[in-house]
Amino acid sequence: MYILLEDEYVIRVPPELLNESYTEAVKEASRVMLEGKLIDIKDDGEKVTGKSYVVSINSIELKGEGTIVHGDGGVYQTIKYKALAYLPKMQEVVDGIVVSIQKFGAFIKFGPFEGLLHISQIMEDSINVDLENQRLIGKDTKMDLKAGDKIRVRIVALNLASASLSDSKIGFTAKQPGLGKEEWLKHENIKN
């Protein structure tokens, strides 16, 4: 889910950004340092409760004066910022797009993240894998899943251990009522 994140951060403003407008330099350094990164989410007791992906910085407020460290040409500035962020949660239902089919399942893109829908979690049917055509096909139902399909899945595994999206591990299931490819859901509603 998307959230409005408010937090403080110490930004290093590199010397090449220092110009006539210090505030603009801090804003630019903040965008570079925070946007597109995974940031820890903390509770009131400062305990880390999860990670969110910073989509965009909405506002920045400078806190105090910047600090120059001997031997480093940059300025370290504490900021208070507000940002739009995406915070995935365990058991959250998300809509995504199938980006690729592999012999072990399908990779699903949702928001800024990508995760794996393992072949065992797609449907209650044995599945034939057609890598050449990027399709997974149910043996009995003939329902298929291919690259480009829209699908609704539930997050069942979530590991955002580092600050990098590429190191994130997210797993899905589509084997519950109300989940699956759009066409499957329409067919499910007709039967009921």
DSSP 8-class letter at 29: H
45: burial class by Cβ within 10 Å (0-12, 13-18, 19+)?
exposed
State the total domains in the chain.
Answer: 2
At 192, the pLDDT band (50, 70, 90 cuts) reads: very low
Per-residue pLDDT averaged across 115-129, rounded? 92
Quote the pLDDT of residue 162.
66
pLDDT at 164: 66
Q: What percent of the chain has pLDDT over 70?
A: 94
Say which residue the tokens 């940059």 belong to.
74
Among candidate residues 86, 121, 142, the one where a domain is terminated: 86
Angle 135-89-105 from CA coordinates, rounded to 5°: 15
Residue where a domain terminates, one of 69, 86, 103: 86
- Look at residues 18, 51, 86 and tell me which one is the last residue of a structural domain: 86
Rounded CA-CA distance 62/43 in Å is: 23
Range of the domain at 67: 2-86
